[in-house]
Chain A
């Protein structure tokens, strides 16, 4: 048991030097619709360069939709999304995306080839691809798995490959869509600690979607709580001004957790109530 967890944890190695700097992200009055469905309404958020922002909200509230828009997968109906002042017009290697499911990995490529995919697509030399891949595999503690295939790895390791793959492209913004949502509790905790460390060494801006309050408190500089969908917007933004690494049982953490729980609880109740009313109307 201990052995398995041990194997999943990376050895403490020297972090690769990184001079990539995060970019500032501005979301201004963004509306997203799918046909007649209004997913996200009038969201405005300013994310500082190098900041770790968590989007927290009940499931189905449009957090992932907003993230897809930031990644350039879904164009907003109105409003603007800019990265360092430049509008997002489509998928961009500067905007890396870590998906919730490791289905996003390329099963037919080895771990190293997966991580080298971005540099390869961008025409980097073979040597540079290899070097970048190994560098970022070392950062996530998977150097020893470079020649394996994704199917031979555990869920936690696969998500690490995804993170390394995104970082190997040296993006300025990393977008993460509930990346640890499908992992078991122990692995998730290890991954969260790892994520805090990786973010600190890489210096990029992170927008991290989650519905887990503790995860948000552990990782974020600020937590943006979203209202229940449809037509979701940002309800409130909480700064998490606590030293890292964070202690789960610190009084300030407990206080923040209560505040967030009340805030989200209110939204969940509202959405349940709305559903109830819909059903009344249908009758």
Chain B
């Protein structure tokens, strides 16, 4: 009896929810579109008041982008920079996560590595550009190492902060359930730290985009950074604009993908993005 009376009231509620969600989604998307259009409008006004030699107009930037895409420069630049970022960032994660775990878990390791981390994290990657080229040559490795450098500290610091925030009762529970030190590290500390690692990975991704431009200052044939630097030599403000906007769009896409993948795959580890 209660079931029969409960059903009709329950049903419309469940039916309405996705609709309301869709409406909210549309509104957010609509607001974003409006915001972007207003931005382009302001950009257009600035271009008109300062002239093409200082500010490339949206129209000029678009046609430059089309031209650069046609001759392959843009695509190659995106691929080259994207690859460097992904490899350097990935290596940063691969090294930063285990090191962060050890720093957080073992006080001796923390004391030994802390001075270095506290020293190097204040030196920006751009300061190492010359050394990287001198030591590693003008090939890919110098750029990848700079990206790695910019990513690894932030991942390490976030991971070790996560380790130190693991709840004492979880550690005690694991120990009293029979887990050894190594098992606790793998089965409790690492999973508890996942949200911190993801935050570190996102920040590192942002830093990688900041660094790629300086990493490509010297002797890069392709890449978005090199596109921006070489365009200056040709006096092509419109190409500079294309490089900058592509960099922003690429960063947005990378972060979005990271967020979506992390929040889907790592949902049960408490990753909410």
Contacts and interface: CB of A to CB of B under 8 A. Distances in A.
Contacts of B191: 106, 108
Interface residues of A, number: 26
Given A103-B170, A104-B169, A107-B270, A92 B187 contact: no
A81 B71 CA distance: 79
B164 interface: no
Contacts of B175: 73, 90-91
Contacts of B180: 121
A104 B178 contact: no
Contacts of A95: 176
B269 A108 contact: yes
A144 interface: no
Interface in A103-143: 103-108, 117-118, 121-122
A102 to B, nearest CB: 9
Nearest to A74: B172
Interface string A57-78: 0000000000000011100000
B178 to A, nearest CB: 4
Contacts of A82: none
A96 B175 CA distance: 10
A79 interface: no
Interface in B32-56: none
A238 interface: no
A93 B268 CA distance: 26
Interface centre among A97, A121, A169 (most CB of B within 10 A): A121
B172 A118 contact: no
Contact of A121 (B169, B172, B183, B269): B183
Contacts of A89: none
Interface string B145-169: 0000000000000000000000101
Interface in B233-273: 268-270
B179 interface: yes
Given A106-B188, A108-B269, A72 B170 contact: no
A199 interface: no
Q: Is the interface of B mostly helix, strand, loop or mixed?
A: helix
Given A108-B270, A121-B187, A149-B268, A103 B176 contact: no
B178 A103 contact: no
A71 B172 contact: yes
Given A92-B176, A93-B178, A108-B269, A99 B188 contact: no
A121 B176 contact: no
A160 interface: no
Given A106-B188, A106-B191, A108-B269, A121 B170 contact: no
B174 interface: yes
B177 A165 contact: yes
- By DSSP majority rule, is chain A's interface helix, strand, loop, or mixed? loop
A99 B173 contact: yes
A101 interface: yes
Given A121-B179, A121-B183, A103 B169 contact: yes
Contacts of B179: 117, 121
Interface string A162-173: 000110010000
A72 B268 contact: no
Contacts of B167: 103-104
B270 A93 contact: no
Nearest to B268: A108
Contacts of A91: 172, 175-176
Contact of B178 (A106, A108, A121): A121
B224 interface: no
Contact of B177 (A90, A107, A149, A169): A169
Contact of A93 (B169, B170, B177): B177
20 contacts: A91-B175, A91-B176, A95-B176, A96-B177, A97-B172, A97-B173, A99-B172, A103-B167, A103-B169, A104-B167, A105-B173, A107-B270, A108-B269, A118-B178, A121-B174, A121-B178, A122-B178, A165-B173, A166-B177, A169-B177
4 closest residue pairs by CB, A with B: A91-B175, A93-B178, A118-B177, A104-B169
Given A101-B169, A121-B179, 15 more contacts: A91-B172, A92-B176, A97-B172, A97-B176, A103-B169, A103-B170, A106-B170, A106-B187, A106-B191, A108-B192, A121-B174, A121-B178, A121-B183, A165-B173, A169-B178
Interface of B: 167, 169-170, 172-180, 183, 187-188, 191-192, 194, 268-270
